[in-house]
Amino acid sequence: MAERVDFKKQLQAKWDEGKFVCLGLDPDPNKLPPHIENKYLTLEDDSWVEFNSSIVETTKDLVCAYKTNISFYEGSGALQDALKATVELIHETAPGVPVIGDIKKGDVPHAGEHHARMAFERYKFDAVTVHPYMGSETFEPFLAYPDKEVFVVCRTSNPDSGEMQKLPVDLWEAVRARVLSQNEYHKLIGIIKDRSNTKSVPLYEMVAFLTTHRWNYSNRLGLVMGATDPYAIESIRTITSDLPLLIPAIGDQHGDLEQVIKAAPNSKGQGFLISASRSLIYASSGEDYAETARDKTLELNHQVRRMLSVYV
């Protein structure tokens, strides 16, 4: 197997090549091409490895990363083996293309250590997604692996996300509750000073602020920001400076790509991954599914680069 380098170096190299698409490999039994399905007695054998390997083979020169949502693989031991085999395949056949484990874990350290070992030692992901609800200690077991990255779930694309993520946080009350120090309070006020309301911020902005200005001591954190709320991405970019943004929900969830590209770039005109899965890998159910996935991936990356040339 080719020697692995750290996630940041891999990703930066892909951005420098003009690649911004993160391709999701999420198995859906209802969408597996029939010619593959019919070759196997069950969908939990080698069918998913064959499907994923064909997609990787046709797209590995186009993407900046692959992403696997572990929830799609947890239903059986065979599917877990398929996930492990898929990551190994990417590392062997697409050296330099990192794999993000979309695990969305987040627990106290003695439990988080097991999650980190699962992610980085069993499956050998290069980066993971983690929930921040239990505070900064959530990230510590993952940051013990110095060549990896942790994307903090911040603003998601599901319809009910605002029930929690948009709750207002009174900034002065946050100081009184010792959630923010007075120095952090003044720093955040300075960032949002041009707004009409500087007394509160939505919870997702507080997550972004803490991720950037307190928790990112190792320079190994990024944020998950759904494409369905470009305004949130714009506001977050003023808070986060150059943190990498993992941006799902382009495609079947109808995120506005143009508005996202206006808001997402960092100071170098890079700094983001446009994540798409179903709209690319299931664009065809025929024997040409892998070639069609390549065409759709190429088209999406061309759209991103064309918009960057206009807005950056």
Domains and CATH numbers, the chain: 7-160+218-311 (3.20.20.70)
Known active-site residue 60: no
Per the prediction, the chain carries an average pLDDT of: 92
Bridge partners (DSSP) of residue 272 are 245
CA–CA–CA angle 180, 185, 190 (5° rounding): 150
What is the DSSP annotation of 75-110? Answer: T-HHHHHHHHHHHHHHHHHSTT--EEEEEEE---HH
pLDDT 10s digits, 78-91: 889 999 999 999 99
In this predicted structure, the answer to whether residue 225 has a pLDDT above a threshold of 70 is yes
Selection from 234, 162, 222 nearest residue 195 by Cα: 234
CA dist list (Å): 49 to 25, 46, 54, 260: 10, 5, 8, 32
Mean pLDDT of 218-238: 95
- Note the maximum CA span of the chain: 64
Mean pLDDT of 28-43: 68
pLDDT attached to residue 45: 55
pLDDT attached to residue 41: 42
In this predicted structure, the answer to whether residue 295 has a pLDDT above a threshold of 70 is yes
The model's confidence at residue 290, banded by pLDDT at 50, 70 and 90, is very high
Selection from 25, 30, 32, 27 nearest residue 286 by Cα: 32
- Whether the CB-CB separation of 65 and 97 falls below 8 Å is answered with yes
In this predicted structure, the answer to whether residue 24 has a pLDDT above a threshold of 90 is yes
In this predicted structure, the answer to whether residue 115 has a pLDDT above a threshold of 90 is yes
Catalytic residue among 104, 124, 166, 262: 104
The model's confidence at residue 254, banded by pLDDT at 50, 70 and 90, is low
The model's confidence at residue 38, banded by pLDDT at 50, 70 and 90, is low
Q: How far apart are CA 261 and CA 276, in angstroms?
A: 15
CB burial of 266-286 (b: ≥16 within 10 Å; e: otherwise) equals: beeebbbbbbbbebbbbbeee
- Residue type for position 100: I
Instruction: Name the pairing type of β-strands 168-170 and 200-202.
Output: antiparallel
